[in-house]
Amino acid sequence: MKKIVAQGKKEMGLNPGSVVRPLAAELVSPGRAVYEYSATKSVAIPPDRLQSNRIIAQDNGDYRARNFQVLRTKVLQQMRKKNWNTLAITAPTEGAGKSLVAANLAVSMAMEGNQSVLLVDMDLRKPSIHRYFGFEPECSIHDYLDGTAGVAEMLVHPGIPRLVLLPGRRNILNSSEQLSSPLVRNLVKELKVRYESRIVIFDLPPALISDEVMVFLPYVDCSLLVIESGKNTPREVEKAIEVMGNSPLLGTVLNKSDHTRRTFNYG
C-alpha cells in the first residue's frame, strides 16, 4: 500500500455563522473547462473565521498549509495518472479529523490555480462541512434525498476560487440505507460526469461504526484514510482497511500528531 502520512498538530474550535446570497456569474478554472456559477449561492466567510475553525490551507504562511500542499501534490499526481476524479475520505473511528482533512485538502487543491474542486458532505449522520466553513445551508444533500432539491440548488461557493461545497444539514439515522440508495448512486455518477475535470471529495463517516463506508466506496475512484495519532490502534487501522475492501487506497494521513516537524512519509 502506498502511504501518504501528513502530520498535523492539535488545536481546534468551531465558529458557525451564516450569510447566503446569490452570486453573480463567475468563471473559474481558466484554460481548462469553464464553469459558470451563476446559479450557485455564495457565502461570505471572513478569513479569520476559516482560521479559527482550522481551515488553514488558504494561508500560505501557515506551516500546516504547506503540509496540505504536499498531500495535495501526492494525491493529485496519483489521481491524474489514473484519470480519476472522485476521492473519499474516511477514518477508522469518530473524531479522527476526516472533515477537517477533507476541507483543508479541498481548499489546498483549489488554491493550486489549475484545479476545480467540489467538496461533498457525505457524512449524513453527522454533517459538519457547513460548520467548519461557518454557514447555515439553505438547501442540503438531505433535501436532495427527500426529493425537494436538485444538484444545482445545493451547491455553495464559499468565496475561495475554484471551490464549491455541497453541504449536509441535519442528522439522519438510516444513513447506510440512504448511502446505498439509487439516489445517492446517481448523485455520485452525476457529480463525476457533469464536472469531469473537477476533483470531487466526499467526506464520509468512520469506517468501523457501520457499513456506510463499505456501501459507498464502490461508487468512487479512490480513498484516503485519516488516522488519529495516539488514538487509533494498528488493529483499528487494519480493520478499517479491510472494510474499505478493494477500493484503491491512495494512502493514510496521520492527524493530531504532536510532532512539530513538517513530516510526510510516502512510499
Ligand X SMILES: Nc1ncnc2c1ncn2[C@@H]1O[C@H](COP(=O)(O)OP(=O)(O)OP(=O)(O)O)[C@@H](O)[C@H]1O
The number of residues that bind ligand X (CB under 6 A) is 20
Return the number of the residue (28 or 243) whose C-beta is nearest ligand X.
243
Strand 116-121 to 163-166 pairing: parallel
Nearer to ligand X, 85 or 229 (CB): 229
Q: How far is the CB of 30 from ligand X (least distance, A)?
A: 32
Q: Which is nearer to ligand X, 26 or 231 (CB)?
A: 231
* Residue 196: φ, ψ to 5°: -55, -40
By CB under 6 A, what part of segment 164-223 binds ligand X? 206
| Candidate residues 116, 128, 247, 257; the one interacting with Mg ion per rule CB under 5 A | 128
CA 168 – CA 163 distance, rounded (Å): 16
Between 29 and 256, CB nearer to Mg ion: 256
Report yes or no: 229 and 256 within 8 Å, Cβ to Cβ. Answer: yes
CA atoms within 13 A on the CB side of 190: 11
Q: How far is the CB of 10 from ligand X (least distance, A)?
A: 4
CA distance 104 to 201: 11
Q: How far, in Å, CA of 99 to CA of 89, rounded?
A: 8
Residue choice 97, 134, 168, 251 for contact with ligand X (CB under 6 A): 97
Question: What torsion, rounded to 10 degrees, do the Cα atoms 223, 34, 183, 205 define?
Answer: 30
Binding positions for ligand X, rule: CB under 6 A: 8-12, 54, 91, 94-100, 123, 126, 128, 206, 255-256
Binding positions for Mg ion, rule: CB under 5 A: 98-99, 128
